[in-house]
Amino acid sequence: MSRKDKQELEELLKEIENLHLASAKVLAQAGDETGYAYSYFALALMYRGAWKYRQADLYLKKAEEVAKKHQLKQILSGIIEVRKDLKQENVSGEDVDYKDFLGPKK
């Protein structure tokens, strides 16, 4: 990836992060705990997809904090699955299980 592309990607990630944080603030003020937790969870998934695992873990912790406080079991189970995924060493190949962490459970 070229330096210019990396810089553009960083700018886009920061913009998305700012939008999610703004939505989390609004949802928290409105009393929508599930939406509030999902804002952080979505940020974690975004950073996971961008291979920025430290940022992903930071937002997983924030999502987990909110989910535990409000007993949001579906989000907590998603967080557990994403954490397993972050620890996976082999990230490509036919033996890798690509999961949809936001979709319904199967």
DSSP-assigned letters across all residues of the chain: --HHHHHHHHHHHHHHHHHHHHHHHHHHHHT-HHHHHHHHHHHHHHHHHTT-HHHHHHHHHHHHHHHHHTT-HHHHHHHHHHHHHHH-S--SSTT-----SSS---
Band (pLDDT 50/70/90 cuts) for residue 12 is very high
Average pLDDT over residues 71-92: 80
pTM of the model: 0.76
Band (pLDDT 50/70/90 cuts) for residue 87 is confident
